[in-house]
Structure formats: C-alpha cells, structure tokens
Amino acid sequence: MGTLLKRIARQRPADMTTILFIFFLVVLTIVFHKTIPKTAYLFGLYSALFVIQIFLIHIPKKNSFIRFIYNLGFPTIAVLAIFDSLEWIVHYVNPEDIDPVLIRIDYLIFGGNPTVMLERFVHPILTEIMQISYTSYYFIPLGFGLILLKNQQQKEFNRSLFLILLCYYLSYLGYILFPALGPRFTLAHLQNIELKGLVLAEPIQNLINHLEGIKRDAYPSGHTAITVLILYLAYKFKRWYFWVCLPVVSALIVSTVYCRYHYVVDVFAGIGLTLLTIFTGEWVYRWWIQKYDRYYVNGFLSSQE
C-alpha cells in the first residue's frame, strides 16, 4: 500500500488534476445530495473514473495499447464523461442562470445582440463553413496529442495534457459558478433568420443539440479556451500544426457567436481562461518537474518506484 501511495503522489500532473477534480465533484454531490436527482449514478460514474485512473497509473506502460489508453484514451473519456455528468450537477447546485447579465454586457459593448446583428451576413455557404469550424473543436486537441505521441515526444505530451485537462476542468468549474444557457436558447425569439447550411450544418446542429442537451455551458467558451490553448502549445512544440490550425481556430471563434452557441463575452472569458491556464499551469508544471521528474523514465513513472 505504501508503494502504491508513493506512486500516486508522484504521478503526472495531468493524472492528479483528473483525480482532484473527480474528488471535488464527489464532495459537491455529497453536499447537494438533497437537490441533485441522480446521486447514485454520479457516485458510480466518479468512482469508476477514479478507479480506472489509479489502475492506469499503477500498471506498467510497456504495452503500446496500454500507453495509448493511459495517454489519450482515458483522458478523452474522462473529459467527455465528466462533461456529460454536469447536466445533473450545474442547475441543481446553482439554479440562477446569468444569461441576463451576459446579454446586457454584450448589448452595452455592441449596441445590440451580436447573434442578431450577424443575421445580415447569414448565408448557407457561410453557415456550412461556420458549423464545420465549430465542430473542429472536437478534433484539434486529439490531433495534436496524436502528433506528439507519434513523434515520441512524451514529455511534451505530458506537459500539454496537463494544461489541456486543467483548462477543461477550469471551464467546467466556470459552468458551475456561472451557469448560462447561451443565445441559441435565450435569444431565439429575437432571431429572424434560421441558420441553414448546405449538407452538414443542420445534421451537425442536431447532433450537438442531442449530445450536449442543456448543460448551461456557455460561460466561459470552452471551445475558445481549449483551441487557443492548442495554438499556444502547437507554437511551442509543433510549429507547423500551429499554422495549420490558426485559420481553423479563427473561424471556430467566430462560429461560436455566428452559430448562436455563445455570447461575445463568453469568448472573451474563454481567452481569459486560456491565459489563466497558461500562467498558473506552467508554474505548477515547473514546480512538479523540479520535485518529481527524477522518478520518471522517458515520460513514464519508473516501475521501480
């Protein structure tokens, strides 16, 4: 048991970040168990994620399949599963949506509602491009991780994974603290033009609406925060990927408002979240390198520890 505890204490910052956020959600579920309707489901989910994470930390990483699951497979599943669970957390922990405040801020800045003002530019071709750009959010981080792993840049991957997971979990914390539905719900009565694309836009819209449900996940814009963070990491570790992603991410940021998923202030908050992640995350990671890096061989915890 002592050896296992030492291994857990010396794990990657990315793994510890997931464990700490799961622990936070468990505590939150306990505190609000009287108002949260699916406590048993949430406890089961978080327990399963915790056990799998600890198992992956403990087992040797000699097998390439295990390394892939540890590096990319499980973190992806954890991010998606935790995000999905927020549907049963956010509104029951904090039932006061802040959409009126966000709408007011946007109106003060632009003299109107940006999603309504953008209707003058709505066109099926542009809608198709914007909706596809918005969806690229789900592939840009995975692509970056796969490239680093393919090039055997394990240390760069570990650092990037930590920052990406930190950014995800901070955005989830933002949803809990500042729940907001977003303009596609709150301003639908003001929109005069329906967003129609050519082929893919509407199926993508329907799929996103089905998968995401109503999470109150508008503020901050996670799409903005994560993809801008990927630009930062790509510029440091894979410069060509930065230049490939730059136009896509630029279109994605515009699409968050054009496609009515976010207020502009959500985008500003997303960029702020990226900066917070970089400044705090890089400091934490440097501290970890100085304290625990000697226990690692080629980016993995030594089996002798």
User: pLDDT tens digit string along 275-303?
Assistant: 999 999 999 998 888 877 655 655 555 54
- Whole-number pLDDT of residue 304: 41
What tokens does 172 get?
Answer: 């989830």
* Least confidently predicted of 11-20, 105-114, 213-222, 288-297: 288-297
Number of structural domains (the chain) is 1
- Whole-number pLDDT of residue 12: 87
- Whole-number pLDDT of residue 290: 81
Write down the residue that tokens 């892939």 correspond to. 68
Question: What range does the domain containing 210 cover?
Answer: 2-300
Q: What's the average model confidence in pLDDT over 168-175?
A: 98
pLDDT > 90 in the chain, percent: 80
Where residue 96 falls (left for φ over 0; alpha for ψ -120 to 50; beta otherwise) is beta
- Whole-number pLDDT of residue 8: 54
Q: How far apart are CA 138 and CA 226, in angstroms?
A: 10
Q: Are 49 and 78 in contact (CB under 8 A)?
A: yes
Residue 264 domain-assigned (yes or no): yes
pLDDT at 119 over 90: yes
Q: Evaluate the omega torsion of the peptide bond into residue 220 and state whether it is cis, within 30 degrees of 0.
A: yes
pLDDT-derived band at 305 (thresholds 50, 70, 90) equals: very low
Residue 305 domain-assigned (yes or no): no
* Average pLDDT across the chain, whole number: 91
Q: What's the average model confidence in pLDDT over 197-226?
A: 87
> How many CA within 13 A on the CB side of residue 67?
16
pLDDT at 189 over 70: yes
- DSSP helix/strand/coil, 304: coil
pLDDT at 85 over 90: yes
- Whole-number pLDDT of residue 294: 59
The backbone torsions φ and ψ at residue 218, rounded to the nearest 5 degrees and listed phi first, read -85, -35
pLDDT tens digits, 1-60: 445 545 555 678 999 999 999 999 999 999 999 999 999 999 999 999 999 999 998 888
pLDDT tens digits, 232-278: 999 999 999 999 999 999 999 999 999 999 999 999 999 999 999 99
